[in-house]
Structure 1
Amino acid sequence: MAAMPDSHGSYEVFLRVARDGSFTAAARHLGYTQSAVSRQVQALEEEWGTALFDRLPRGVRLTEAGRVLLPHAEGVRERLRAARAELASLRSLGGGTLRIGAFAAANVSLVPRALAAFGDRYPGVTVVHSEGPSAKHAALLAEGGLDLAVLSTPAGIALPGPELHHLLDEPMYVALPRGHRYAGRAVLHLPELADEDWIEGDVRPDRTLLAPALAAGFVPRVVFRVNDWTAKQGFVAAGLGITVLPELAAGAVRPDIVLVPVDPADLPCRKVYAGTPRGLRHSPAVGAFLSLLRSAAGRPEPAGGIRPPVR
């Protein structure tokens, strides 16, 4: 014998009795006992405070109140069926929405590779993507505005709030004009670049990728404030200065500049994570995208003209 229906299932019982005109026939179709069906109908009548069926010598028929309730009960059933279908689609990654964010350098190749693989495997899931600084996206994770974010932080600097899943350690390069006197070097030390003009995202070095080097006394002379990676390369190629370029941004390098690794003792690798809301269970979409991010992080795209970093 089937289990007793829940409170929502009582509307299924009501609809079946209305259709069959009999508690006995409804019980047979539903797989319940006749007494269980009778109790469900009685409970529904008590909930609404009125009789829903007239009990006849042979079977039952809807009262006026029952006829009023009938289309609403049908609507409840259809909405629940739709909800079950949507939930099943979420579980199978056949639908739903995934909200992700990433910092700019991660959007050069890491995130697009993961997004392409995700789209191929789960075309029914809508992905909403935003670009911005890691601090902003960490806050959005805490507020429930994102499901996952690719975040970065300098080595040794904590990123409080989200649950962090390590993806990679990102070496740093110095971008130089191709004719620069250091363009042929295998590695560079920051003190060698003390007299250079720098192009960074902020005139304050403590807000740039050079911030970890400040404690050792290195103070760059920032002459141009440029945020976009492509624009920075243009400034470098024109001989207006040099800049630090993270490895994730090195997949799209102009042919007229050269990237030389910075000694990690001078500028440690940057930590890159996937962040998710702390303490919450991952949705199937988050779990799938996180797995694809890890795969993408383990297969860095080769970039021409980049010397291997010193680790």
Structure 2
Amino acid sequence: MYDPTRLAALVAVAEAGSITRAAERLGYTTPALSQQLAKLEREAGTALLVRHHRGARLTGAGELLVARARRVLDELERARHELARLTGLTGGTLRLGTFQTAGIHLLPPALSAFRRAHPDVELTVADYEPSAGVAAVAAGDVDLALTHTYTPGGPLPLPSSVGAEPILVEELVLVSAPGHALTSGTSRLPLAELAGQPLISMAPDAPARRDVEALLARAGATPSVRVPTPGYLLVCALASAGLGVGVVPEMVARTSVTPVGVRALEGGGLRRTISVAYRSDEMSPAAEAFRALLRGTFGRAQQS
């Protein structure tokens, strides 16, 4: 039986015309979406897509499966809507907190899916730094909040009334000006290659990034520009302009509005984990439904 998440991924590629644009629409990283499509092709036993320099197009088998997938997904949407009425999700409010990059790249597709399933629930979204989002959940100001931690780094400090569930783990990657020697290769770059390189230091005094910055310093990267407040769009823009190299989450690098070179780092030890924070003692039906949606959407994208 085909996984509905993978069917939805194939439909998204058919509509967007490329895997990269479909990944942006769905809130996946491009490699994660490619992995899901490869699994779907293995399940189908045939090629569904032809990749080319401008994107991807469906094969005959892909066109057939997309046509059937749309019908299946439409029926699932109807089922979700009918179940929502049975479980009382026909009104109320869902209050969400998010940090900037999650709000730009993760929330829109998730909220679109939630709105289709539960059109009568009123949505509010507020912008918080990750630690402030957790505090807002504890205070009852929001029902759920997206937050993050880094590896290397300490665990997320949580009040006793708040739990956190990881929904997405992504690697940190190197970004540079297009054509830079460090990002021209296809293999993973050893951290030792950063020795002597001018580094755009991302929030060096922020607790979440402190251990990452220390590791880059031990590798020999030399801060050239310091960005003391979180702002990955700015880091990518400065790297694009040739002011140094930066280390940012892959999601940010792949969707940068300024052109950057991107390269994976050796070892895979630099990561960001995005989690959803929730009150462990009480949760509304809308919050439970949205948390389950996040788990199903982004959790499946990482399964091997």
Do the two structures share a fold, i.e. TM-score over 0.5? yes
Whole-angstrom distance in 2 between the partners of 1:268 and 1:202:
16
Alpha carbons 2:169, 2:274 under 8 Å: kept: yes
Query: Aligned letter for 2:274?
Result: V
Bigger helix fraction: 2
**Could you tell me which residue of structure 2 aligns to residue 288 of structure 1?**
289
What is the root-mean-square deviation of aligned Cα atoms in Å? 2.9
Query: Aligned letter for 1:158?
Result: P
**Could you tell me which residue of structure 2 aligns to residue 193 of structure 1?**
194
Q: Does 1:111 align with 2:112?
A: no
**Could you tell me which residue of structure 2 aligns to residue 132 of structure 1?**
128
* Count of paired positions: 212
Structure index of larger Rg:
1
**Could you tell me which residue of structure 2 aligns to residue 167 of structure 1?**
167
Whole-angstrom distance in 1 between the partners of 2:261 and 2:219:
22
TM-score of the pair, normalised by structure 2: 0.61
TM-score of the pair, normalised by structure 1: 0.60
Say if 1:230 and 1:215 are closer, same or farther in 2 by CA, change over 3 A: closer
- Where do 5+ consecutive residues of structure 2 fail to align? 1-83
- Where do 5+ consecutive residues of structure 1 fail to align? 1-87, 302-310
Shift of 1:255: 6.6
Whole-angstrom distance in 2 between the partners of 1:239 and 1:208:
26
Aligned to 1:182, the other structure's residue is in SS state: helix
**Could you tell me which residue of structure 2 aligns to residue 273 of structure 1?**
275
Shift of 1:124: 1.4
Whole-angstrom distance in 1 between the partners of 2:105 and 2:165:
19
Say if 1:131 and 1:220 are closer, same or farther in 2 by CA, change over 3 A: farther
**Could you tell me which residue of structure 2 aligns to residue 26 of structure 1?**
none
Whole-angstrom distance in 1 between the partners of 2:177 and 2:114:
37
Whole-angstrom distance in 2 between the partners of 1:213 and 1:198:
10
Say if 1:90 and 1:283 are closer, same or farther in 2 by CA, change over 3 A: farther
State percent identity of aligned pairs. 28
Alpha carbons 1:151, 1:275 under 8 Å: kept: yes
Alpha carbons 2:176, 2:183 under 8 Å: kept: yes
Matches within 5 A, 1:42-191: 92-155=88-151, 157-159=154-156, 160-161=158-159, 162-185=162-185, 186-191=187-192
Whole-angstrom distance in 2 between the partners of 1:212 and 1:292:
30
Shift of 1:173: 0.6
Q: Does 1:249 align with 2:252?
A: yes
Matches within 5 A, 1:209-248: 209=209, 211-212=211-212, 214=214, 217-218=218-219, 220-226=221-227, 227-248=230-251
Whole-angstrom distance in 2 between the partners of 1:221 and 1:207:
20
